[in-house]
Amino acid sequence: MINGKRIAVVMPAYNAEKTLEQTVRELPDMVDVKILVDDSSNDNTAELSRKLGVRTFVQDSNYGYGRNQQTCYREALAAGADIVVMVHPDYQYTPLLVPAMAGMVASSVYDMVLGSRILGGGALKGGMPLYKYISNRLLTAFQNLFLGVKLSEYHTGFRAFSRQLLETLPLLENSDDFVFDNQIIAQAVMFGFKIGEISCPTKYFKEASSINFRRSVKYGAGVLATTAAFVAHKLGIVRLPRFGTSGRKLTQAYYSQIR
């Protein structure tokens, strides 16, 4: 706990057996509940997760990264979490920063905190491919301009959220794919939530999850579409459930639990 607030770490996983134990071992003691949602992996991710004492849920099919996050957040809220930190179990981001990120939310200064690979200049040093770094910078500049905020990056997978944010945003309107990460930031901006950042080192290696070039292009197109939808909704050109109060929010179970 921090400031009397219950902390949950959620780990959206797919074929993370090789890196999961190292990730879990480095989670700090102040974490109250650890949750892993396995997106129907082909390896022993779920079995290892249970052995490590993590609350483990398995999707009955490979629904995608975005849907996995929805399940993660629903289970964290059901477990009574006041603050939820998403940590990828591929060990690309260090779990040692969980207390710092959760503390920024616990202070009520921020509703969302992003672990930025760009702040501190560690992205390229950590092995981020040059094409990904360049596209990251270009897409971030584009979104800063049209969303009216100033973030160092929108594409990190290391994030902390307040319970209020997760209960308020219409997360069920978002993509089941990787662009979910970008959509939730755009939603937070639209709903007026406060977003902070913290410098976070990153590591790129064989076992770390990283989308390939084709999927990176698809993700980039999704970012542009998300930005266009944000602007259109804000200007009143269209009314989109993703950015409105009528959109579908997290509700009770919509997936299969532990297999």
pLDDT tens sequence across 74-83: 999 999 999 9
Domains of the chain, by residue range, sit at 7-243
Is the per-residue pLDDT at 204 higher than 80? no
pLDDT on residue 210: 58
Give me the mean pLDDT over the 118-135 stretch: 82
pLDDT of 234: 97
Does position 254 have pLDDT exceeding 50, yes or no?
A: no
Average pLDDT over residues 74-99: 96
Mean pLDDT of 122-138: 84
If we measure between CA atoms, which residue out of 198, 223, 196, 174 comes closest to residue 68? 174
* Residue 252, pLDDT above cutoff 90: no
pLDDT of residue 123: 75
Q: Which residue has 């390939």 as its token pair?
A: 212
> Max alpha carbon distance in the chain (Å)?
52
At 176, list the tokens: 């089941």
Mean pLDDT in residue range 183-191: 98
| H, E, C per residue of the chain | CECCECEEEEEEECCCHHHHHHHHHCCCCCCCEEEEEECCCCCCHHHHHHHCCCEEEECCCCCCHHHHHHHHHHHHHHCCCCEEEECCCCCCECHHHHHHHHHHHHCCCCCEEEEECCCCCCCCCCCCCHHHHHHHHHHHHHHHHHHCCCCCCCCCCCEEEEHHHHHHCCHHHCCCCCCHHHHHHHHHHHCCCCEEEEECCECCCCCCCCCCHHHHHHHHHHHHHHHHHHHHHHCCCCCCHHHCCCCCCCCCCCCCCCC
Low-confidence winner among 17-26, 34-43, 126-135, 158-167 (lowest mean pLDDT)? 126-135
Q: List, for residues 20-75, the tens digit of each pLDDT value.
A: 999 999 999 999 999 999 999 999 999 999 999 999 999 999 999 999 999 999 99
What's the whole-number mean pLDDT along residues 151-171?
96
CA 80 to chain centre: 19
Q: Going by CATH, does the domain composed of 7-243 fall within 1.10.1270.20? A: no
**pTM across the whole model:** 0.91
pLDDT grade for 211, boundaries at 50, 70 and 90: low
Whether the per-residue pLDDT at 259 is higher than 50: the answer is no
Residue 205: pLDDT band with limits 50, 70, 90: low
Q: Is the pLDDT of residue 121 over 70?
A: yes
Residue with more model confidence, 74 or 131: 74
The answer to whether 72 and 8 have CB atoms below 8 angstroms apart is no
Region 141-168: what's the mean pLDDT? Answer: 96
pLDDT in tens, 10-23: 999 999 999 999 99
Answer yes or no: is pLDDT of 8 > 90: yes
62: exposed, middle or buried (C-beta count within 10 Å: 0-12, 13-18, 19+)? middle
Closest CA to 143 of 219, 244, 204: 219
Report which of residues 213 and 255 the model is more confident about. 213
Mean pLDDT, residues 189-214 taken together: 82
pLDDT at 207: 58
